[in-house]
A = this chain, B = another copy of it.
Amino acid sequence: MSVFAGFGSDNHSGVHPDILSALRNVNDGYVVAYGHDEYTEQAITQLKEIFGKKTAIFFVYNGTAANILGLRSVTDSFHSIFCAESAHLTVHECCGPENYIGAKLVNIPTPDGKLSVDFVEPYLIGVDDPHMAQPHVISITQATERGTVYRPKEIQSLADFAHHHNMLLHMDGARLCNAAAFLKTGLHEISGEAGVDVLSFGGTKNGMMYGEAVVFFDTQLAKNFEFIRKQGMQLTSKMRYISAQFSAFLANDLWLRNASHANEMARLLAEQLQNIPGIEITQKVEANMLYAVIPNQCITRLQKQYYFHRFNERTCEVRLMCSFTTQPPDVLSFAQAIRKTVGET
């Protein structure tokens, strides 16, 4: 029996049919490469309708690059970037940011993946001392790697703090759609409008095949990005195919429908698990993922049927993900498998 990978990651899903259609629809004819085409113009226009006309927006292949190159554009090698200790940026990029930017990542412990001014403030030291990395960016993830979601006011508060101290606010929006779906807001309200300066806007985890957007809310910050993207190995030649995906992703609220569904499935899973004795849900389930402590031997047994990750290889806290393709019966079966395994031990 093969292992069911559906709860392992939202990257384990395929691509939404509308996205696949979009790829076909732009396939005919010749268009100039590297983004000088009308499909790209169209997609950028759609994005600017959302994020505002005073933005500079660029496509790259993936979220790693969106984060690293976006930060590279606004950061010098002697700067530091504050982030939550659990941030993908610092945990799961194989020290790509340090390598590509030079800067130091300052890992700040948080209970739920969310930074706040209170958490950040004590790390603001060494300003103007050449011996010390210079605080320059606060990077937050929306929704966080722990499945929690920043409210607009929380973002604004961090933005105000950052700007007051000549710092910038960066947002890793790999799951921005899930956050907006949870909050029932638009995408802009929880990014640029709340004070974010640079945003990685992700599509891949929410139904696209590949492609992310880097959104600069101040065009001055983007003035070198075309060179940085090319040098950074992230300028796709056949750009129309990323653009077409984004156009379809934004049309008819596909992004919202996909994200809402994924969130809904995580809530369903939470409902199913919350009353199982021996299982402890450890984080609020706001986006499309659920963290829970499961007895160690149960994890081992379950992983024979279901592919999923421990949050940290040394603990019994596991991460369960849902996506736009998650089916309610699969959630129920999974919950049943967990219930059974825990009951047996």
Residues of A within 8 A of B (CB): 4-6, 8-9, 11-15, 20, 23-24, 26-34, 61-62, 64-65, 68-69, 76-80, 90-96, 98-100, 102-105, 107, 122, 125-126, 130-134, 204-205, 209-210, 224, 226-238, 240-241, 307, 312-314, 325
Contacts and interface: CB of A to CB of B under 8 A. Distances in A.
Given A11-B237, A78-B224, A91-B132, A24 B32 contact: no
A102 B99 contact: yes
Given A11-B237, A126-B313, A94 B227 contact: yes
Given A4-B30, A31-B5, A130-B226, A20 B24 contact: yes
Contacts of A224: 76, 78
A77 B232 CA distance: 10
Contact of A62 (B4, B90, B103, B236): B236
Contact of A78 (B4, B227, B237, B241): B227
Contacts of A133: 94-95
A90 B325 CA distance: 44
Contact of A20 (B23, B93, B234): B23
17 contacts: A5-B32, A11-B238, A12-B32, A15-B238, A23-B23, A61-B61, A61-B210, A64-B235, A78-B224, A94-B227, A98-B104, A102-B231, A104-B105, A107-B107, A125-B314, A210-B241, A233-B234
Contacts of A76: 224, 227
A13 B231 CA distance: 23
Given A130-B230, A235-B64, A95 B78 contact: yes
Contact of A9 (B29, B33, B234, B235): B33
A222 B6 CA distance: 31
B20 A5 contact: no
Given A12-B33, A20-B24, A313 B125 contact: yes
B94 A131 contact: yes
Secondary structure at the A interface, as helix, strand, loop or mixed, is loop
B312 A125 contact: yes
Contacts of A307: 32
A336 to B, nearest CB: 18
A95 B209 contact: no
Contact of A235 (B29, B90, B130, B313): B130
A80 to B, nearest CB: 7
B27 A8 contact: no
B20 A228 contact: no
Given A105-B104, A209-B23, A204 B238 contact: yes
A233 B236 CA distance: 13
B231 A96 contact: yes
Contacts of A14: 26-30, 238, 240
Contact of A77 (B64, B99, B229): B99
B231 A78 contact: yes
A20 B27 contact: yes
Highest count of chain B CB atoms <10 Å: which of A29, A224, A241? A29
A80 B226 CA distance: 16
Given A104-B105, A130-B226, 5 more contacts: A64-B233, A76-B224, A93-B231, A100-B233, A130-B229
